[in-house]
Amino acid sequence: MISTRRNMGYELVKLNDEAEPFDVINWDDTNYFRLNTENIGRARMLALWGASVILNTDMLNYTMVSAGLLASNPTVEEAHAVHKLSEELSVPWLEPFTSNNKKKVHKSHCLQFAGNLKIALNMIKDSPVQPDYELQGMDDFVEFLLSCSNGVWLE
């Protein structure tokens, strides 16, 4: 695992056929993906929206609160509060991605997360209203999750 502890985030490493993390040489290794706290929070909310767990109005509210927070130079606690999922939004396929405690994540959870996130990204791309953030990182995350044939190690 590559140590990037100076920035809070989620590090994911593909699992090999023995369900062990691949060795990662550097940050652009194809077996490695990293999302900061803001982006994993955004990915979770988008995936919930793609799965129709949350409504359009819920997604809009999250987007407005998140954008306002970024403009205010938030504390770590404030950022976590915005991106933390409430208990009523807990779904099994997303649960492994709600903390960066060290764990293996099953392939099925990766595929469900990726599939629902992809639905949301397609809805955004087909919309005349576009977000003020870059979508390519989310597309890259979807592709990474879809390529994890044995799941991922997350920390």
Task: Give residue 24's domain range.
Answer: 9-154
| pLDDT of 102 higher than 60 | yes
Instruction: Give the pLDDT confidence score for residue 72 in this predicted structure.
Output: 65
Residue 55 lies in a domain: yes
| pLDDT of 106 higher than 70 | yes
pLDDT digits (tens, 9 = 90+) for 14-32: 999 999 999 999 989 999 9
| pLDDT of 76 higher than 80 | no
Residue 4 lies in a domain: no
Residue 1 lies in a domain: no
Residue 67 lies in a domain: yes
Angle between helices 136-146 and 107-125 in degrees, nearest 10: 150
| pLDDT of 5 higher than 50 | no
Residue 3 lies in a domain: no
Instruction: Give the pLDDT confidence score for residue 90 in this predicted structure.
Output: 73
Structure letter (DSSP) for residue 86? P
Instruction: Give the pLDDT confidence score for residue 12 in this predicted structure.
Output: 97
Which run of H or E residues covers position 14?
Answer: strand 9-14
| Rg of the chain taking only CA atoms, in angstroms | 15
Q: What percent of the chain stands above pLDDT 70?
A: 74
- Give the number of other CB atoms < 10 A from CB of residue 79: 18
Structure tokens at 12: 């994911």
Mean pLDDT of the residues in the chain: 83
C-alpha to C-alpha distances, 12 to 56, 82, 122, 128, nearest whole angstrom = 29, 22, 24, 33
Residue 119 lies in a domain: yes
Residue 31 lies in a domain: yes
What is the arithmetic mean of pLDDT over 111-139? 90
Domain count, the chain: 1
Report which of 93, 96, 72, 97 is spatially closest to residue 83, judged by C-alpha positions.
Answer: 97
Residue 41 lies in a domain: yes
Which run of H or E residues covers position 10?
Answer: strand 9-14
